[in-house]
Amino acid sequence: MMEADHEDGSYDRNKELKLLDETKAGVKGLVDAALTKLPKIFVHDNHKVNVSSSSSSSSATNVSIPVIDLGSLHEEGNSRHEIVQKVKDAGEKWGFFQVLNHKIPQSILDEMLDGMRKFHEQDAEVKRKFYSRDITKRVFYNTNFNFYTTSEVNWRDTLYCLLAPGPLDPHQLPSICRDVIIEYLDHVKKLALTLLELLSEALGLEGNYLKDIDCAEGIFMVGNYYPPCPQPELTWGLSAHTDMGFVTILLQDQVGGLQVFHENQWFDITPFPDAFIIILGDMMQLITNDKFMSAKHRVVAQKVGPRVSVSCSLRQHVQDECQRMYEPIKELVTKENPPIYKEMKMPDLVKLVYTTKLDYDVSSPLKHFRL
Ligand code: OGA
Ligand code: NI
């Protein structure tokens, strides 16, 4: 079906992209068609380079990914202080940690992952109605949000839902996962506020600081579906990137494949069934003036699958109600540590990431906001 190759060996990349886009069936559609060889658009030139630089994993070193147990958060004694200290360490050194005992029932996590899988596996005709590249829509699905700008098309389809700020009409959500998204959102909002409190305290600020500057006003949910890949050595599930928002609350299933970059090495994130992965994003790095870092991460393509993940990013989007200005927090800058970034608003960063060819191996989108 992907026939854009010319006889002389050259090929029309744009035509091949359009052919796949117009099927509105994404990568899942290719897998359903029993494809055994990857279309050229998925083959990454620098893949071998990337893999060879990633030979180290957590098993090769004594470093372990921070895991923070929130179970004792409200107990008497020193435990809150200890948790805040761990969040501070993780924020400064990794921009990344896992949390356990977050109080969201296991059944909700399982139902959310299942609902997302069902969305991507439902009847192609129903799913096709959601296919779009109009980023002003609140709910849509496509393959690779940066399909036409990146040189690295990935083996992944995604459902996007801007859940907050409102008003969200629940009828815009796909009926197959509507109820579970609404229930999940309710729980995730509470966890988000807990995390913002801990992060505020870890920065030496009042507990409500990050909430009061609207860090939890926007919630952008992304449901990723990574079908099994016939030639995983040629492509990525999701290329190395940082997340745009303040904080991402990520739920993954048990398949694995997520890796995080730390001190020049890639670490495999072993799935825990009851954990959330917390990733600090570019906006957090910007408002903390580089005190906290935005963690680079990626997902490998695999023969096994599908793999499903659901990420809720605390971030605003491109809508009119998302125009709040941000800059490094005054309390965190001093004469010795002057602001690194200029004042900006989130939609500027979102539009940049959606429309620019970015290479996270060499730089970060934050460089566009440096003073
Ligand atoms: C993302 C992301 C990781 C995953 O959606 O930004 O990094 O495990 N997802 O799917
Ligand atoms: Ni991410």
Give the CATH number, domain containing residue 119: 2.60.120.330
323 to 10, 134, 167, 196, 350: CA distances (angstroms):
45, 19, 16, 20, 12
Query: What residue owns the CA closest to ligand 1's atom 10?
Result: 309
- C-alpha 298 – ligand 2 centre gap (Å): 7
- C-alpha 113 – ligand 1 centre gap (Å): 13
Pocket around ligand 1: residues whose beta carbon is below 6 Å from it?
A: 222, 224, 238, 243, 250, 252, 258, 297, 299, 309, 311
Does a structural domain hold residue 261? yes
| Residue-range definition of the domain harbouring residue 145 | 15-51+63-366
- C-alpha 225 – ligand 1 centre gap (Å): 10
What is the share, in percent, of the chain residues with pLDDT greater than 90? 81
> Quick one: three-class SS letters along the chain?
CCCCECCCCCECHHHHHHHHHHHCCHHHHHHHCCCCCCCHHHCCCCHHHHHHCCCCCHHHCCCCCCEEECCCCCCCCCHHHHHHHHHHHHHHHCCEEEEECCCCCHHHHHHHHHHHHHHHHCCHHHHHCCECCCCCCCEEEECCCCCCCCCCCCCCEEEEEEEECCCCCHHHCCCCCHHHHHHHHHHHHHHHHHHHHHHHHHCCCCCCHHHHCCCCCCEEEEEEEECCCCCHHHCEEEEEECCCCCEEEEEECCCCCEEEEECCEEEECCCCCCCEEEEECHHHHHHCCCCCCCCCEEEECCCCCCEEEEEEEECCCCCCCCCCEECCCHHHCCCCCCCCECCEEHHHHHHHHHHCCCCCCCCCHHHHHEC
Phi, psi of 98 (to 5 degrees): -105, 150
Q: Which atom of ligand 1 is nearest to the CA of 258?
A: 8
- C-alpha 203 – ligand 1 centre gap (Å): 26
Does a structural domain hold residue 297? yes
Q: List per-residue pLDDT tens for the chain, 371 residues long.
A: 455 556 566 679 999 999 999 999 999 999 999 999 999 999 987 665 455 444 444 445 567 899 999 998 878 778 999 999 999 999 999 999 999 999 999 999 999 999 999 999 999 999 999 999 999 999 999 999 988 988 889 999 999 999 999 888 999 999 999 999 999 999 999 999 999 999 999 999 999 999 999 999 999 999 999 999 999 999 999 999 999 999 999 999 999 999 999 999 999 999 998 999 999 999 999 999 999 999 999 999 999 999 999 999 999 888 877 689 999 999 999 999 999 999 999 999 999 999 888 889 888 999 999 99
- C-alpha 333 – ligand 1 centre gap (Å): 31
Q: Return d(Cα 26, Cα 120) in angstroms, integer.
A: 10
For ligand 1, pick from 112, 302, 311, 312 the residue to mutate: most ligand atoms within 8 Å of CB.
311
Does a structural domain hold residue 168? yes
Q: Are 82 and 69 in contact (CB under 8 A)?
A: no
- C-alpha 76 – ligand 2 centre gap (Å): 35
Amino acid present at 307: R
Q: Return d(Cα 228, Cα 155) in angstroms, integer.
A: 9
CB-based burial of residue 367 (10 Å sphere; 0-12 exposed, 13-18 middle, 19+ buried)?
Answer: exposed
Nearest Cα neighbor of 288 from 322, 337, 325, 248 is: 337
Hey, what are 298's tokens? 């990626």
Q: Return d(Cα 174, Cα 127) in angstroms, integer.
A: 9
Query: What residue owns the CA closest to ligand 1's atom 1?
Result: 311
Q: Which atom of ligand 1 is nearest to the CA of 252?
A: 8
Residue with tokens 């429309």: 355
For ligand 1, pick from 250, 266, 294, 300 the residue to mutate: most ligand atoms within 8 Å of CB.
250
Q: Return d(Cα 293, Cα 194) in angstroms, integer.
A: 19
Give residue-wise pLDDT tens across range 64-110. Answer: 899 999 998 878 778 999 999 999 999 999 999 999 999 999 999 99
Q: Which atom of ligand 1 is nearest to the CA of 297?
A: 7
Hey, what are 137's tokens? 């829509």
Label residue 289 left, alpha or beta by phi (over 0 means left) and psi (-120 to 50 means alpha): left
Does a structural domain hold residue 29? yes
Beta carbons within 8 Å of 279's beta carbon, 6+ residues apart: 95, 96, 243, 247, 248, 250, 260, 295, 297
Give residue-wise pLDDT tens across range 14-40. Answer: 999 999 999 999 999 999 999 999 999
- C-alpha 117 – ligand 2 centre gap (Å): 18
Q: Which atom of ligand 1 is nearest to the CA of 224?
A: 10
- C-alpha 294 – ligand 2 centre gap (Å): 10
- C-alpha 343 – ligand 2 centre gap (Å): 24
Instruction: Find the ligand nearest to 237 CA.
Output: 1
Instruction: Find the ligand nearest to 224 CA.
Output: 1
Nearest Cα neighbor of 164 from 186, 143, 145 is: 186
Does a structural domain hold residue 371? no
Domain count, the chain: 1
Q: Which atom of ligand 1 is nearest to the CA of 226?
A: 10
Does a structural domain hold residue 10? no
Query: Which residues face 46 on adjacent strands?
Result: none
183 to 86, 141, 179, 211: CA distances (angstroms):
29, 21, 6, 21
Instruction: Find the ligand nearest to 255 CA.
Output: 1
Instruction: Find the ligand nearest to 312 CA.
Output: 1
Does a structural domain hold residue 253? yes
pTM: 0.94
Instruction: Find the ligand nearest to 295 CA.
Output: 2
- C-alpha 238 – ligand 2 centre gap (Å): 8
Does a structural domain hold residue 5? no
Q: Are 61 and 272 in contact (CB under 8 A)?
A: no
Amino acid present at 297: H
Q: Return d(Cα 323, Cα 302) in angstroms, integer.
A: 39
Q: Which atom of ligand 1 is nearest to the CA of 269?
A: 8
